Amino acid sequence: MKGRVFKQACWDEPVILNMGGKGRRGYTLPALKKDTRKPVRDALTSLPQKLLRKTPPRLPELSEVEVVRHFIRLSQMNYGVDLGFYPLGSCTMKYNPKINDLVASSLAEIHPYQDESTVQGVLEILFTLSRWLAEITGTHEVSLQPAAGAQGEFLGALLMRACHKFNGNLEKRTELIVPDSAHGTNPASGTMAGFKIVVVPSDENGCVNLKALKAAVSERTAGLMLTNPNTLGIFETDIAQIAETIHDVEGLLYYDGANLNPILGKIRPGDMGFDIVHINIHKTFGTPHGGGGPGSGPIGVCEELTKFLPVPCIGYDEKHKCYFLDYDRPESIGKIRGFYGNVAVLVRAYAYILSLGAEGLEEAAETSVLNANYLMKKLSQTRGFELPYAKERPRKHECVFSARTLYKETGVRALDVAKRILDYGMHSPTTYFPLIVDEALMIEPTESVEKEELDRFVEVMKKISQEAYSNPDLVKKAPQNVAVTRLDEVKASHPKTMTLSWRMHQKRNVIKGAVP
């Protein structure tokens, strides 16, 4: 196998609260002038004594050098896109262009309440980006405010609420429909917005069961949340009938944009009949995910819903030829966060679209689909793994395999396979999702991977299959080449042993083992 030797660093690094030495410091503040000493005393004596902090916080005392070395060591025990293949399904872990980080850094010291005359540059970028996103999604107007995809979903569900309320029938519209293959955020967001979640099953092709959907809709239906292509990577070909079914009962159709990448420039959610669309900037537009965030989750809507968007939107004043923050929206649902959105993320997306252009976005979509289908084809002969649902149909951005047979025949589960993949210097696919597939391994290669790396992944999967049949313990004991072996996740969550802060650790001291 043209494998590579991989050994992640393992530093046994102590918890930072248990490091350092008295009096050390990593940062000094500008000194106060002598004649400002008196105000220090005044400032502090102006406070009632009972409000002063008596015992300093137990923060570590560290020199700058120690802080740097600690965190660099930690960074070496972390795997990112820049290290290699990251086929985490539905997460679209594509390459994050360096130029985008560079250009975004000049935003650092701009305050959101600055006079509009001093921020025309950033307003122009945001205005143009929102227009571009509207063009890409086929929607009428885009709000850049949501901080993440899930917040976009919450906003989307709130817009449904606002629309039904405006039409005077919110009391009746209590149900939100989601397919059983939906991302977990869909039902969670719908519930937050006050809807009762109605789940519709998938059909034998892994798509929305039209019959079941028709049975589920009624005058209580507020809307349907759907991702297309769905979480199996299959395009919902019945989308016209689905849209009609929902619109016939005056429900709204919501597009979960987690899977937008494969249809960029090819198909637009708005054209398929979706009324509300969220976009995961950190997936589709290549902004770094930062180990969990920040992301950005703009929402695009059809014309009828624009009046409900949160304030402010970014406007352009033709008369004075300037951009401005538009708060004049009386039907707006209000605000879902402070200020205007995750601007540093949005500027990166602007640069990304600028680099790829219309042609490049389409190329990205097509190549991501080509890569996924190539993997699907090459992996389909791997012993123990099978492709559930619609074998003959092409996938879009991702493909989902089931390790059910492997589990039955060798006792090796999808989880074990995922851990073993880490040993070969790659990140694992998403596991156990979508819920309609047993022992699921959800693989999204994205367009940011060369053919040789795809072939290497196929070889790794084949090797693991062989290992499972010949020496299952090897796979079950994985990983061995990364910073730690398999972790006890039950212990981390059990009421008797959960240790969620250093303070809790000092109180309870229940994590026995070598705590450095």
Interface residue with other proteins, options 167, 218, 240, 331 (CB under 8 A): 240
Is residue 494 within 8 Å of residue 21, measured between CB atoms? Answer: no
Both tokens of 483, joined, read: 């910073």
Q: Which is nearer to other proteins, 37 or 211 (CB)?
A: 37
Considering the complex, state which of residue 209 and residue 342 has its C-beta at the smaller distance from other proteins: 342
Cβ proximity to other proteins: between 432 and 469 the closer is 432
- What length does the chain have? 516
Q: Could you tell me which stretch among 214-222, 244-252, 422-430, 464-472 binds other proteins (CB under 8 A)?
A: 422-430
- Nearer Cβ to other proteins, position 408 or 494? 494
Q: Decide whether 168 or 292 has the Cβ nearer to other proteins.
A: 292
Q: How many CA atoms lie within 13 A of 331 on its CB side?
A: 14
Q: Is 84 helix (H, G, I), strand (E, B) or coil?
A: coil
Query: Contact at 8 Å (CB) between 287 and 156?
Result: no
Closest approach of Cβ 98 to other proteins, in Å? 9
Query: Which class for 111: exposed (0-12), middle (13-18), buried (19 or more C-beta within 10 A)?
Result: exposed
Binding positions for other proteins, 128-157, rule CB under 8 A = 132, 135-136, 147-151, 153-154
DSSP 305-372: GGGGSPSPEEEEETTTTEEEEE---TT----SSSSS--HHHHHHHHHHHHHHHHHHHHHHHHHHHHHH
The reply on whether position 74 binds other proteins by CB under 8 A is: yes
Interacting residue with other proteins among 4, 7, 32, 248 (CB under 8 A): 32
Number of residues that bind other proteins (CB under 8 A): 213
Binds other proteins by CB under 8 A, chosen from 34, 115, 171, 319: 115
Nearer to other proteins, 265 or 384 (CB): 265
Side chain identity, residue 482: V
Q: Work out the end-to-end distance of the chain between its first and last CA atoms, rounded to an integer number of angstroms.
A: 38
Taking CB under 8 A as the binding criterion, the range among 116-124, 249-257, 406-414, 459-467 that sits at the site for other proteins is: 116-124
Collapsing DSSP to helix, strand or coil, 9 comes out as: coil
Contact mark string toward other proteins, 154..193, x via CB under 8 A: x---x--x---------------------xxx-xxxxxxx
Q: Find the angle CA(469)-CA(470)-CA(475) to the nearest 5 degrees.
A: 75
Least distance (Å) from other proteins to the CB of residue 211?
20
* Contact of 400 with 379, CB cutoff 8 Å: no
Helix axes 120-137, 343-379, angle to 10 degrees: 30
Helices 149-166 and 185-192 pack at an angle, to 10 degrees, of 40
Distance of closest approach, residue 472 Cβ to other proteins, in angstroms: 16
In the complex with other proteins, the residue whose CB is nearer, 394 or 472, is: 394
Q: Within positions 197 to 216, which residues make up the interface with other proteins, using CB under 8 A?
A: 197
Q: Which of residues 355-394 bind other proteins (CB under 8 A)?
A: 355-364, 366-367, 369-371, 373-374, 377-378, 393-394
Q: Which is nearer to other proteins, 68 or 408 (CB)?
A: 68
